[in-house]
Amino acid sequence: MEGLARSQINPIHATFTQYRSSFVPAFSLQFKNNLTSGGILFMKPSQSCNSITASVQPLKASSLGHCNNTLPSKEVLELWRSADSVCFDVDSTVCLDEGIDELAEFCGAGKAVAEWTAKAMGGSVPFEEALAARLSLFKPSLSQVQDFLEKRPPKISPGIDELVKKLKAKNTNVYLISGGFRQMINPVASILGIPPENIFANQLLFGSSGEFLGFDANEPTSRSGGKATAVQQIRKVGLIHISFMYDL
C-alpha cells in the first residue's frame, strides 16, 4: 500500500478489534510516529481479525471469542478525543463484510470474485485492475443491485453506531472513505447519520435499461492510493488540518 509523502502527515497503523464495552472505540492503534493534537484519523482493519457474518443487531459476546477484546491505551483514547475528523473505511470495518463479495455471491459469482478481492487486498494487483476484473465476472444490473439492497441490509459492526454518535456529539467530522460502491454505502451512511457529502466511494454506472456499464473511473477511490487522495481533497477544502493519517 502506498505511503503518504507529505511530512506533515505522520502515519499510524490501525488494527480492527471487536469489543464488548460500548464506551470504547472498536479499533486499537499502533503508533509509528509521535502525534500532535487535532487532525484526522483513518480507521482501517488489518487482516489479524477475520470479519464475522451477522445481522445489524449486536453480536453476542460468545460470537467475539476469536478476537482479542482489549481496552484501548490512554494514547489511543486521547487521539480519539483530539481528532478534528475521523475517516472510516467501510468494508470489514464499519460493516462486517466485503460489499462487492456479498453482491457477487448474491449474483452467483461469489467464489471467483472473493479470490480477486484477496488479490486486491494483498496488493499483488493494482486496485483499479482488480475492481474492473471483479465487476466483469458478474456485471450487476441496476435491478440486481436494488434487489440485493432490499434483501441484504447492511451488516453494521457492533458498537459503530454508538461510536459515531459520540464523535458527532463532540462535533467531530465523520467520513466514510471506501473502495466500495455508493449504492451500497448510502444505506450505511443513512443508518449512521453521515451526510452524503461525507462519503468518498465508487459509483456503479448503468444504462437506460438498467444494464451494467462499468464504474466511474473519475472517483479517486477507484484506483490505488485513492483513499489518501480523498483525504487530501478533504484537506484542500479547508475543513480540517491533517496532522496525522493512516498510511494507505
- The parts of the chain modelled with pLDDT lower than 50 are 1-38, 46-67, 240-248
Residue 11 and residue 245: Cα distance in Å, rounded?
A: 5
Listed in sequence order, the DSSP H helices in 141-248 are 142-151, 160-169, 182-192, 226-237
Is residue 89 among the annotated active site residues?
A: yes
- For residue range 123-169, list pLDDT tens digits in order: 788 889 999 999 999 999 999 999 999 999 999 999 999 999 999 99
pLDDT at 125: 86
Question: Structure pTM?
Answer: 0.72
pLDDT at 45: 55
pLDDT at 9: 32
Beta strand 212-215 pairing with 199-202: unpaired
pLDDT at 143: 98
3-state helix, strand, coil in the chain (%, to 5): 40, 20, 40
Is residue 91 among the annotated active site residues?
A: yes
pLDDT at 219: 95
Out of 91, 101, 161, 247, which one is annotated catalytic?
Answer: 91
Out of 89, 147, 161, 247, which one is annotated catalytic?
Answer: 89
Percent of the chain with pLDDT over 70: 67
Cα dihedral sign for 163, 168, 170, 173? positive
- How many other β-carbons are positioned within 10 Å of the β-carbon of residue 218? 8
Write the Ramachandran bin of 23: left for phi over 0, alpha for psi from -120 to 50, otherwise beta.
alpha
pLDDT at 160: 95
Beta partners for residue 175, in sequence order: 87
pLDDT at 66: 43
CB 180 within 8 A of CB 201: yes
pLDDT at 11: 33
